[in-house]
Amino acid sequence: MRNVWPTLAFLALSSTGTIAQDISAGERSWNKCRACHQVGETAKNGVGPQLNGLFGRHSGAVDGYSYSAANKNSGITWDEAVFADYIKDPRAKIPGTKMVFAGIKNEKEIADLTVFLKQYGKDGKKGS
């Protein structure tokens, strides 16, 4: 019988070659973020801004949150690639940001966290 592991590894990748995403694993990764950020219908700003509807939003744009000038003036519009680059090392991506976080270096964990966050619309509802 031939070794099926290479085939299974290949199947774990999407047709574009990106890493398959896992919402449950993303929710576990979210535990690193929840001390400062919230998502969901009752999300509020805390130490960091709420992250509902993050993707497609301009950096520094959540009402009621006091952003650093660096964040407000970064010119960033959040998408998957920008978020992945940012979350690896927030202070390198936006020098002067208030975000004090060492970052997430693992590509699979970043992909999982991304799919977890993407499920929340601007209103905090899943799938909106």
Quickly list DSSP for 7-39: HHHHHTB-TTSPBP--HHHHHHHHTTTTTT---
Name which of 7, 44, 6, 12 is nearest 111 in CA terms: 12
Give the C-alpha distances (Å, rounded to integers) separating 62 from 5, 8, 10, 127.
45, 42, 39, 20
pLDDT in tens, 88-128: 999 999 999 999 999 999 999 999 999 999 999 999 999 86
- Say what the pTM is: 0.82
d(CA 93, CA 82): 9
Instruction: Report how many helices (DSSP H) and strands (DSSP E) the chain contains, helices first.
Output: 6, 0
pLDDT in tens, 45-93: 999 999 999 999 999 999 999 999 999 999 999 999 999 999 999 999 9
Instruction: Tell me the pLDDT band of 9, cut-offs 50, 70 and 90.
Output: very low
Domains of the chain, CATH where assigned: 20-118 (1.10.760.10)
d(CA 85, CA 17): 18
Name which of 106, 57, 114 is nearest 83 in CA terms: 114
